A and B are shown apart, each in its own frame.
Chain A
């Protein structure tokens, strides 16, 4: 059965800290892994990863995929209170991309 596991489920840090969020998965015919930021609105797309070892960066956020070990990490450096959100990892798989599984999310709280 396809599944996505995220850790930690909850994390509290102070502004300026660096955090690493983890996502491991099992999926048939992997196609891509996606990261979203969930706040009080529709989830915001962050990254889509399809190849191992290629880091994607956007400002203070970066992510990398390891297809051999079946996991991805999302790093946030110099965290700000505005980074407080739930970070969702999702994996797309299946012969036609018809399987799409979301993880439970990591709730990040950044304190001033």
Chain B
């Protein structure tokens, strides 16, 4: 009965590969997010989806693309992975006014 679940939990892959991280929420929220945690533990928002509409895209390279098949899912696709993409990626869901967010457990991506 996990509220926000991400898979896989960790991922090791080679440069140049294409990979996806899945996220599902069962909270009935209308908005989902992807964050990247940098080496200093700062969380940077990457995408926000509301009712299947992308409403935020914070200067993320176009190698990253969110895909939302329905309101409960927001998957992150990454093409041509680079070393600098290594990080922990968090999915979250919440309300439209963004006063709260429920986080998944994170996916640790390592690009070698």
Contact = CB atoms under 8 A, between A and B. Distances in A.
Interface string A34-53: 10101111110100100000
B31 to A, nearest CB: 12
Interface size class of A (residues with CB under 8 A): 20 to 34
B101 interface: yes
Interface stretch (A12-20, A54-62, A70-78, A96-104): A96-104
B88 A45 contact: no
B101 A38 contact: yes
Nearest to A90: B103
Interface size class of B (residues with CB under 8 A): 20 to 34
B99 A39 contact: yes
B91 to A, nearest CB: 11
Contacts of A43: 35, 43, 101
A42 B44 contact: yes
A42 B35 contact: yes
Nearest to B10: A98
A43 B105 CA distance: 15
Given A96-B10, A98-B10, A100-B105, A42 B100 contact: no
B43 A48 contact: no
Contact of B40 (A36, A45, A97): A45
Contacts of A42: 35, 43-45
B24 to A, nearest CB: 16
A83 B76 CA distance: 32
Contacts of B66: none
B106 A45 contact: no
A37 B9 CA distance: 24
Nearest to B110: A96
A34 B108 contact: no
B88 A100 contact: yes
Contact of B100 (A36, A86, A97, A99): A86
Interface of B: 9-10, 35, 40-45, 88, 90, 97-103, 105-106, 108
Of all A-B residue pairs in the complex, the 8 with the closest CB atoms, nearest first, are: A100-B106, A102-B103, A42-B45, A98-B10, A40-B98, A45-B42, A98-B108, A43-B43
